[in-house]
Amino acid sequence: MPATYVKPYVKRGKTDAVDAEAICEAVTRPTMRFVAVKSKEQQALLTIHRVRQLIVRQKTQMLNVISGLLREFGHVIGSGPVAAMRFIKAFKTDDDLDMPDVAKSMLKTLCEQVVALDERVTFYDKLIEYHSRIDERAKRIRAVPRVWLITASAIVATSGDGKQSKNGREFTGLAGADTR
């Protein structure tokens, strides 16, 4: 059951005992909806998505650090990850920047780490896309306009079989999507 459904039944400060009492009260309501238990396969697929998300965040952090370091030495590479990746590829072949060797060395290390993270993201993307192409539920979800491979795989990983929902609007609400 989603935590937001339990919150109205919490009478006072947050403790384990108070939370347990609120859950017991909420469960007895006839209109209460429950979240389906995920299978081991869904949990495994969700693990891939979460690790990919972590790697993407790390890559973004590294790109921001590289951009900031370059700005400190008067080099502006443009904004966004595309401009930063373009710089990294150019820097690998031509490191003729006006900065001390120590700074260049640190920059080179960061660039190598970003390239490694980018390769890992690509690997996880291919793994998720492969799953999305072979899983029947993901194939059905991909039939919806503007739903891509990774999105279809994420929906399969996070939602149950969909039978706990009466209609599409209720399903998207349980999945956390905004239907407005």
Q: What is the pLDDT of residues 14-59, one digit of tens each?
A: 777 777 787 787 778 777 766 677 889 999 999 999 999 999 999 9
Of 38, 40, 46, 62, nearest to 117 by C-alpha is 62
pLDDT value, residue 173: 61
Domain ranges within the chain, ordered by starting residue: 1-34, 38-175
Return d(Cα 36, Cα 19) in angstroms, integer: 20
Q: How much is the pLDDT for 177?
A: 54
- pLDDT of 74 above 50: yes
